[in-house]
Amino acid sequence: SQTIHQWPATLVQPVGSPLSLECTVEGTSNPNLYWYRQAAGRGLQLLFYSVGIGQISSEVPQNLSASRPQDRQFILSSKKLLLSDSGFYLCAWGPNLNTEAFFGQGTRLTVV
Amino acid sequence: GESVGLHLPTLSVQEGDNSIINCAYSNSASDYFIWYKQESGKGPQFIIDIRSNMDKRQGQRVTVLLNKTVKHLSLQIAATQPGDSAVYFCAENRAGGTSYGKLTFGQGTILTVHP
């Protein structure tokens, strides 16, 4: 069966520090991968999605970047965190184009 | 399209009542729709989906209705239980074009079930 792993679960980082959140998927190949951000009490904002290795689509201009160095690995990064980067970050994968996505448990990032 | 940045609407119901959660979408090219349930502090969980060649689909205690004419999607939960309390999101996926494979979420609705 397929599983998605996202870590860490919580993270407190100072302003100006770098960020690296990792997401891996097991049990499938060539998944669509997604990074979403969710502010407290708000909806899900699509940040990046990827349909293959090295293929990243960015949805909103921001302080973040994403990379997909391996088929089942998706990384969300920042060189210098801002206070506004705080939120709940969710990684998701989809088996094919035009299908549902399955979510990880999320990382709660607090920038202080 | 996405409605991020807005506070979520709420729906309060009594246990045993039926709940109807609504969602409007703006992309007429979307052809696949999904409802998710998100409990506090967790990632969204898939509930039910529907493709644009259907108007209605039923699952266990849930029914999704799709009205393509007015670009409206609804989730009906029968005999709502306290465990159904969560935030519910609709999502759309578009076939073809530059956004192929992009899953976009709607605003979300907070459902509270009172015993």
A82-98 residue pLDDT tens: 999 999 999 999 887 67
- State the average pLDDT over residues B96-112: 76
Please say whether the beta carbons of B64 and B33 come within 8 A.
Answer: yes
Contacts of B69 (CB under 8 A, 6+ apart): none
Interface contacts (A, B; CB < 8 Å): 82
Q: Shortest Cα distance from B104 to chain A (angstroms)?
A: 7
- Give the per-residue pLDDT at B89: 93
Neighbouring CB atoms inside 10 A of A68's CB total 19
Tokens representing B104 are 């976009």
Answer yes or no: do B4 and A43 touch at CB < 8 A: yes
Angle at B45 between CA A13 and CA A3, to 5 degrees: 75
What's the rounded Cα separation, in Å, for the pair A82 and A14? 8
What's the rounded Cα separation, in Å, for the pair B80 and A94? 29
Radius of gyration in angstroms for the set of CA atoms belonging to chain A, rounded to a whole number: 13
B2-33 residue pLDDT tens: 333 346 789 999 999 999 999 998 888 888 89
A4-26 residue pLDDT tens: 999 999 999 999 999 999 999 99
Answer yes or no: do B101 and A49 touch at CB < 8 A: yes
- State the average pLDDT over residues B92-115: 78
CB-CB neighbors (< 8 A) of A97 in chain B: 93, 95, 100-101
Neighbouring CB atoms inside 10 A of B27's CB total 15
User: pLDDT class for B101, splitting at 50, 70, 90?
Assistant: low
Among residues 81-100 of chain A, which lie with CB inside 8 Å of chain B?
90, 92, 94, 97-100
Please say whether the beta carbons of A33 and A23 come within 8 A.
Answer: yes
Q: Cβ of A40 under 8 Å from any chain B Cβ?
A: no
Tokens representing A14 are 């100072």
